[in-house]
Chains A and B, each alone.
Chain A
Amino acid sequence: QKEVEQNSGPLSVPEGAIASLNCTYSDRGSQSFFWYRQYSGKSPELIMFIYSNGDKEDGRFTAQLNKASQYVSLLIRDSQPSDSATYLCAVNGAGSNYQLIWGAGTKLIIKP
């Protein structure tokens, strides 16, 4: 069974600090990795995607991928109260499995 694991939280971070969210996955052949943000009662929206080992930066967000250790992380710099949401990690598998496997999400709370 292919799995994606996230700490459910809540993760509480002071405003202006760096929030660090982590995700591990079981399928070593996974090739595409996504971070989605979901506000309560709303649909998920893409924050970042990453395909290669290393870091990828977009504004205040940085995705980090380490395929050898099978983890992907999301860093949010200068955290704002509007960043308070649940962050979902999704991974697509290798081979003929045309599915994304989703983690259960980490709830992030940014305290003013």
Chain B
Amino acid sequence: EAQVTQNPRYLITVTGKKLTVTCSQNMNHEYMSWYRQDPGLGLRQIYYSMNVEVTDKGDVPEGYKVSRKEKRNFPLILESPSPNQTSLYFCASSLDFSYEQYFGPGTRLTVT
């Protein structure tokens, strides 16, 4: 089954404790992206990757890191999480940025 998987689905953590949210796709897509979604603000792009080893900042990259060492995986790293990073996070992939994006199920992160 073609899909984007994210783990964990739910995470409660404390300020400053490094965490990684994994994202993996099995559709051989070149383009991958991370979004956060907050009430009233819609989807905001954090980082995106056009292909392996190529990543770029989205609209809200501060406090986040990513890496794209292989095509299928695109982890999101929070080195020192803060409460303002409490949000719903989605990973997405597509053939190209101008094509349909397929979303993972989401990760609900709470930072206390």
**A interface list, Cβ under 8 A from B:** 8, 31-32, 34, 41-46, 49, 88, 90, 92, 98-100, 102-105
A104 contacts B104, C-beta separation under 8 Å: no
A105 contacts B42, C-beta separation under 8 Å: yes
A84 to chain B, nearest CB (A): 18
A81 to chain B, nearest CB (A): 23
A56 to chain B, nearest CB (A): 14
Interface contacts (Cβ under 8 Å), in number, total: 49
A32-B98, A43-B90, A92-B97 known; A102 and B103 CB under 8 Å? no
A61 CA / B102 CA spacing, docked (Å): 20
In the bound complex, residues from chain B placing their C-beta under 8 Å from that of A100 are 33, 45, 97, 101
A46 contacts B90, C-beta separation under 8 Å: no
Interface centre among A8, A34, A43, A49 (most CB of B within 10 A): A43
Interface residues on B, range: 20 to 34
24 contacts across the A-B interface (CB closer than 8 A): A31-B98, A34-B100, A41-B106, A42-B106, A43-B105, A44-B103, A46-B100, A46-B101, A49-B100, A92-B97, A92-B98, A98-B31, A98-B48, A98-B50, A98-B56, A99-B48, A99-B97, A100-B33, A102-B35, A102-B42, A102-B44, A102-B45, A104-B41, A104-B42
Known: A32-B98, A102-B35, A103-B42. 14 other contacts (CB 8 A): A34-B100, A42-B106, A43-B90, A43-B105, A43-B106, A44-B101, A45-B103, A46-B101, A88-B42, A90-B43, A98-B50, A100-B101, A102-B43, A105-B42
